[in-house]
């Protein structure tokens, strides 16, 4: 074993002693004993990620309930996200505007159970078995029933039930983003995304306030005037994910052909820099393992909890996407304090999908989307229990480790560095 490997193993052992996994028996969540290398600007940036700030951003999003697309609560959440981004210094916020006019829902049979106003039938399809997703892999082991809760009466909190009661209406939709402009290669860009809408009569805390909060926290750190990047980074808060990735699809339809075009010519400004990679974050916190044989779930996080990094092996950009996934795997090994990463080839059913044939695209998650989430590994998925209060600090810390992974990876890719503040 060479000296570098020995040092790496020693550092890993030191971090492992401080993780919630290593101390699960005591149920104490310690602070990782990780010494920040002040000579590494990326390590300094990663150290600025804070568990309480991450939780506060998730909590801020949950004030709008499930943020279902086509509702006032969704529009209010978009406004709030924009205000937050501006408060971070990411002042060049913009919006994508598009129309969403789905077919009218099929009438339910007379006498079917209803619920309160905007209740059963208003939130989506009735619960069904684990979905079969193209490219999602083959499920194995114990599987439990999954689906979208559409019954308002399953939400015992009257305040939240009332907040979520307004049904979705067709029409105009908007989603907000801001951009860190690169200094020497502004015409090239990485996109960091998470979807801000949800369903199920809860607060959509995990699906996907947990991913949206990662995007927003990274926007906060990269927007610091002392942080300089060679390439650009776009922080994207997708809408309409739950209805079929419609917000991401609208972005691709409107912006793909504008990549790398200087506007106005000679200005050095690129409204849509060339895409170098798309990194999505969708359901980041709940890794409690496979369901028990009786369908119940363990209350504690599983000892093997990890950050899943997925690419789609049957996409046109599979090689480039796999390379990006393994690059992030390396970033996790260097910068994540608690949880390791695992790479999988079955990215599916998230906003990176519309990009996967156009550019290197990966998704970070709590579990494999097709084979684990789809088999019931997260009982709160699209359910009234997807609440901020449902999750423990260990769960939130798993999401924070995904943020550390992405920040470390992207910062390296854009050659981020810190510069003295201008006088």
pLDDT digits (tens, 9 = 90+) for 125-179: 333 343 445 678 877 777 788 899 999 999 999 999 999 999 999 999 999 999 9
The Cα–Cα gap between 306 and 398 comes to 7
Q: What is the DSSP string of 198-254?
A: --SSS--IIIIIHHHHHHHHHHHHHTSTTEE-SEEEEEEEE---TTTSHHHHHHHHH
Cβ atoms < 10 Å from Cβ of 48: 14
Average pLDDT estimate for 33-57:
91
Query: Model confidence at 38, in pLDDT bands (50, 70, 90)?
Result: confident
Angle between helices 318-335 and 393-413 (to 10 degrees): 120
Classify residue 70 as exposed, middle or buried by CB count within 10 Å of its CB (0-12, 13-18, 19+): buried
First vs last Cα of the chain: how many Å apart?
Answer: 49
Contact predicate 390/299, CB 8 Å = no
pTM of the model: 0.87
Q: Minimal CA–CA distance to 328: which of 338, 317, 336?
A: 336
The Cα–Cα gap between 238 and 241 comes to 7
β-strand 171-180 against 94-100: which pairing, if any?
Answer: antiparallel
Using the predicted structure, report yes or no on whether residue 78 has a pLDDT greater than 90.
yes
Class of domain 37-100+120-418: alpha beta
3-state helix, strand and coil shares in percent for the chain, rounded to the nearest 5: 35, 15, 50
pLDDT digits (tens, 9 = 90+) for 94-128: 999 999 999 887 776 655 443 333 333 333 433 33
β-strand 185-195 against 274-281: which pairing, if any?
Answer: parallel
Contact predicate 256/274, CB 8 Å = no
pLDDT digits (tens, 9 = 90+) for 7-33: 333 333 333 333 444 333 334 455 455
Q: Where are the domains of the chain?
A: 1-35, 37-100+120-418
């Amino acid at each position: 074993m060479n000296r570098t490997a020995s040092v790496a193993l020693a550092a890993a052992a030191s971090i492992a002693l401080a993780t919630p996994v290593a101390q699960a028996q005591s149920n104490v969540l310690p602070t990782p004993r990780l010494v920040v290398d002040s000579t590494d600007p990326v390590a300094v940036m990663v150290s600025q990620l804070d568990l309480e700030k991450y939780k506060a951003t998730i909590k801020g999003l949950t004030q709008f309930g499930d943020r279902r697309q086509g509702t006032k609560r969704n529009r209010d959440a978009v406004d709030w996200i924009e205000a937050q981004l501006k408060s971070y210094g990411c002042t060049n916020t913009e919006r994508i505007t598009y129309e969403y006019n789905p077919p009218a829902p099929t009438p339910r049979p007379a006498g079917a159970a209803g619920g309160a106003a905007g209740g059963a039938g208003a939130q989506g399809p009735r619960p069904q078995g684990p979905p079969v997703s193209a490219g999602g892999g083959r499920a194995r082991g114990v599987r439990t029933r999954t689906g979208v809760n559409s019954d308002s009466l399953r939400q015992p909190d009257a305040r939240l039930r009332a907040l979520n009661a307004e049904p979705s209406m067709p029409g105009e939709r908007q989603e907000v983003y801001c951009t860190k402009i690169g200094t020497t290669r502004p015409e090239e860009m990485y996109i960091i995304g998470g979807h801000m809408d949800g369903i199920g009569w809860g607060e959509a805390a995990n699906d996907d306030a947990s991913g949206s909060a990662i995007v927003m926290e990274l926007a906060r750190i990269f927007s610091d005037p002392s942080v300089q990047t060679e390439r650009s980074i776009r922080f994207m808060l997708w809408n309409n994910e739950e209805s079929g990735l419609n917000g991401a699809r609208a972005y691709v339809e409107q912006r793909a052909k504008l990549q790398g075009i200087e506007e106005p010519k000679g200005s050095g400004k690129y409204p849509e820099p060339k895409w170098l990679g798309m990194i999505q974050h969708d359901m980041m916190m709940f890794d409690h393992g496979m369901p028990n044989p009786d369908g119940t779930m363990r209350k504690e996080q599983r000892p093997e909890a990890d950050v899943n990094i997925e690419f789609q092996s049957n996409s046109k950009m599979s090689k480039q996407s796999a390379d990006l996934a393994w690059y992030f795997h390396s970033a996790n090994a260097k910068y994540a304090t608690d949880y390791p990463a695992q790479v999988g080839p079955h990215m599916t059913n998230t906003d990176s999908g519309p990009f996967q044939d156009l550019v290197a695209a990966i998704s970070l998650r709590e579990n494999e989307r097709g084979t684990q989430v789809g088999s019931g590994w997260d009982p709160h998925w699209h359910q009234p229990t997807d609440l901020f209060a449902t999750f423990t600090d260990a769960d939130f810390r798993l999401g924070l480790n995904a943020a550390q992974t992405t920040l470390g990876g992207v910062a390296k890719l854009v050659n981020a560095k810190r510069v003295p503040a201008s006088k």
